[in-house]
Every structure is written in structure tokens, then in C-alpha cells.
Amino acid sequence: MKNELALTIASTIINGFEHHVALFTEITQSARERFQQCQWNEIHRSARARTTFYDDRVTETFNHIKENFDISSLDNALWQQVKAVYSDLLTNHMQPELAETFYNSVFCHLFERKYYHNDYIFVESTAHRLDDKAAPEIYTSYKPEVLGLKQTICDIMNNHRTVIPFENLDRDVDALINTFRRKAHKTRVKLEDLQFDILNFTFYRNKGAYLIGRVLSPAGETPFIVAVLNNEKGGLYLDALLTTSESMAVVFGFARAYFFVDCQHPYALVNFLQGLMPHKTKADLYSAIGFHKQGKTQFYRDFLNHLESSDDQFELAAGIKGMVMSVFTLPSYPYVFKIIKDKFSPSKNMTKKDVKGKYRLVKLHDRVGRMADTMEYSEVAFPKKRFNDELLAELQKVASSIIRYEGEGEDELLIIEHVYIERRMVPLNLYLIDALKNKAQEKIDNAMFGYGEAIKQLISADIFPGDMLLKNFGVTRHGRVIFYDYDEITYMNEVNFREKPKAVTEEQLYAAEPWYTVLPGDMFPEEIATFALANPSYLKAFKIHHDDLLTAKYWQQCQKDVANGIYKDVFPYPEKYRFCHQGLPGK
């Protein structure tokens, strides 16, 4: 009887997962048509919808089990059997690692944290069994010696294009070949020594389509991305070529929206991509291709392994303490852990629910490469002995309602009810202080350019950052400036951008408080110079490129553009990489 029940429950969960896969695949495949038809707003809507699919299917499956099976507490023997049966069902599955994560999610909805170990859930994945099987064919190899270099590349492009023709493929392939020769030294060999391995599916995101692969030669491997755009007049064109792991990693960055890529073998795809971008973790790559829940699972496994192999202590993160969030980090691990405080500073008129809503907004929105993605976890267990006394005291002081302890002695755990985890960056204010101290003017100039670009790209994507103080931005290892404090973000239509009235009388000129009416939602752009850029060196560098951000007129125009559905093009690669800026033939 128990065998039959275990099979029924396991089948219910796998059916829930298969339903998720079907819906996920359907919306992912539709990205091609949206790209063809330039349905940019629809792309954003689809991206938001797809992000919620997983949780919706987990909830459906959880409700089905609660309604149809008499489960009020955990039956040890039954659920160990359910896991074993489920594992057997995955023997020949194409996506076993995703199915395991789905199982874990349903189980964790059903039972308490004390059961979250490998007897009942897949703390350790069994998906490594795929390594012993023949690798699925996810890429096609081309030998340019057969048809010649140019014809081979034209064939590759035509094999991946949509029903929309190329505007001028002959011109663009010439630009592509010239750029390869200039930038990719390992490809400067005889044609008979070259091989192109091209992934069989196109990666879609926002207004771009991307072909990804590698060039093999006796000199080594060269990874690459070719960016394809729609001219919105019925033609496609090649826009850029990236030929280094570092530049490709930025395209797959944690501040970008997730790709739409129709690959039924994510395990193999992630392995291939990691070969091209070794600095990217499997967690990063699963998230980047749309499987953000699998990214969370992979991240947590990596984190547990790191804890086992390290002995440093968690500590408060560097920088000015937040008024809403408390942030800590592990020096040997490149992430920060953020928890919502029990009480906020009086100036913050919001609730915990409001803050969670802001983070949810960011998760669903196009982050345009300027907002850090966050992983949200519940009931996270940390070894208490790894927390220094200062941090323990701080957490107990500011967030005691979401902290508890389990166990004792060396095995005592600190359980945090709700935590956000995101990539660690150098706070922009600290980065600038260090640059100023070392008289590194170029760093200041680049950081101020990046700060202004981050603001411009956010507001053009319908995100008003709210608090634009430098401490709320970070600098990545690639030198990009990213916004990461979300408690005051809102949509552009909720803000009234005003010019500051000019003082006329002496009383107005020396007034301690504003002598003019300021309503909720009012924003005076010129005050960025006063509050965020009080240091003259920062302001001078900022104004070189972004003086317009200090005027209400600029913000009002962006507000109108967003209202009219006009979104600024934001490319996930530097402008200098675009063929149109390289003086190449025909561009």
C-alpha cells in the first residue's frame, strides 16, 4: 500500500514539473516571433510572466497533494520511498536537475526545515549521472575549408535567422571577419585548421538575438558571441562581436534580464557555456538562461561546499549601515547577505511588506544591466560559530524577530527566516574615496560616467531609483556601476520632477527649511549635485557626460518616453564594440 502511495505522490510531483516545463517552453519559444515582429513591450511582459511560472506550478502541486492525500505530518518511511521512486522516474529524464529542484520546492512547502536533509530532499543532486551518458547534440560543427570562410559564416547566420532576411549579410560578414582577425589572435591560422562550434539555438533578450559558439584551432579555443539586431524595417543586421570570456561574462551578468533560449538539455548547455566563460558559476548560468530557481539550488550547494572548505567568519559588510537592511558577508565568498530590519529609521515610511514588494518588482523587471539580481531564501541555516560577536550582536539588535537558534555547542545553528543574497560589490562611495586618496582621476571619471549611465538606463526602463546616494551603488569586478538599494524605487509615472523655485527675497535665500511647497512624490534633479555629489571632484567628473541629469527637463522627457512606450536601446556590450562605430566596410 505504501509503495503505491509513494508512486502516486512521486508521479503527482513529476506531473507538476512537466506542466511547468511545457508552459516554460511555450513562452520561451515565442521569443523568436516577438523578436521578428519587434514586440518589445510584449517581450518585457513575457519575461515578467515567465519569472513567476515556477512558483505558480509549485503552489499548484502543493495544493493538489494537500487536497488529495492525508498528509498532516512527515512519515519517514513513506517520504524516503517517495524520493527513491522519484529518483527512478528521472533515470532517463532530459532535465533531472531541474526536476529534483522542483521536488525540493514542493517538499519544503509541505514540511518543516528540520527535514531538509538528503534523506528526504535532493541536497545532493543525482544529475551527475548525465556525465556518464552520451552528450546530447546541442551544437553544430562547421569546417570553413569546405565552402570557404565567408560562405561558411553566411550559412551559419542564415541557419539561425528568423523569417526576417538580413539587411546586408555580405557587408556584415565582412565586418565580422575583419573583427575576428583583429581581435582573436588564435583564429589566425589556415582554414583547414579551423572549426566553428555553434550552439543550435538563438539566445533572445530585450531587442537582441545572440549566436554563441567557439572557434577551435591549433592555437587554442576562442569563445564568441555575435549580436544580431532587428532594424525594425524588415531586416536583420549583425551589430557586434565579442571574443573574450570577460566580455561575454558581462552579457551574462547578474544585473541582466534572463535569456529566452529554447534548449531542452540545460545541463549540457550550462557545461558548454561554462567552458566558454570559466569565471561564471553554474548557478550564474542556470539563472542567466531563465532557470533562476535552479540557479538558487546550485548556489546553495556551492555555498555549503564553501563553508565546509573554509574557516573564516561572517562579518558586517563594509560601508555605511542601511536604514532598512542589515548586510553581512563572508570575506572568502563573493556575496552579501541582506536581511530586513525589524524597525526602520523614522525617515523610512514603509513596512517590511513594502520592502519585499520592491525586491519582487526588481526580480520581475528588466534590470538593464544596472540592478543586481537577488536570490531570496527562507529558513536559511548558518553555523553559529562562523559569526563573529559583533555581527551576532548587530543581528540580534536589529532583526531579532527573524532569528532563532537550533542545536548546541559546535553544531549550534543560526536560522534566519528570510534573507536576500546578491553578488558583492565595492560600494561606490568607498571606491571613490580610495580613488581620491590614490589620485586615480581616471577611476573617478569612469565611475562617475558609470554612475550617470546607470541612472539614465534605469529611468529609461521605467525605474526611478529613489535614493541616489553613492552608497547605494556598487562597482563590479568589471568596473561597471550597479544599483543595489531597492527600498525606495518606484515607477517613473509616480514621480513629479520639478525645477527648484529661485529664491527672490532675503528671507527665502537664507531660509533653513524650503520656503516652497514640497509634496510627496516631488523630486528636484538639481539636488543630486548637492546631496549625492557634494565632493567637487565627483561633480566635475559627473557633469562632463551627465549635466542633463541635473535638469528637470531631462527627467520629464524620459517620463514622457516611458509613458509612450519608447525605451532606450541598452546594449550589453560597450558602444565601441558595435560595428557601426568601428569604421568597418559598409557600416
All three cell numbers of 293: 530557481
| Active-site annotation, residues | 373
Question: From CA 439, how far away is CA 370, in angstroms rounded?
Answer: 27
Cα gap 85→352, rounded to integer Å: 41
- Report the C-alpha gap between 104 and 116 in whole angstroms: 9
How far apart (Å, rounded) are the C-alpha atoms in residues 122 and 581? 50
Q: Give me the amino acid identity at 153.
A: I
Q: In what side-by-side order are the strands of the sheet with 473-475?
A: 426-427, 473-475, 481-483
CA distance 433 to 9: 58
Closest among 23, 98, 16, 26 to 59, alpha carbons compared? 16
Which of 329, 325, 379, 328 is closest to 354 using CA atoms?
325
- Of 90, 35, 31, 62, nearest to 290 by C-alpha is 31
Sign of the torsion formed by the C-alpha atoms of 414, 415, 417 and 423: positive
What do you get for the CA distance between the two ends of the chain, in Å? 72
Question: β-pairing, 496-497 with 522-523?
Answer: parallel
What phi and psi values does residue 419 have, to the nearest 5 degrees?
A: -145, 145
Half-sphere exposure of residue 236: CA atoms within 13 angstroms, side-chain side:
26
The answer to whether 9 and 69 are in contact (CB under 8 A) is: yes
Q: Write the CB contacts of 505 (distance below 8 Å, at least 6 apart in sequence).
A: none
250 neighbors 225 (Cβ within 8 angstroms): no
Q: In whole angstroms, what is the distance from residue 213 CA to residue 141 CA?
A: 10
User: Cell match 549540457: residue?
Assistant: 268
Distance CA(302)–CA(473), nearest Å, equals 26
Report the 3 state secondary structure along 180-246.
HHHHCHHHCCCHHHCEEEEECCCEEECCEEEEEEEEEECCEEEEEEEEEEECCCCCEEEEEEECCHH
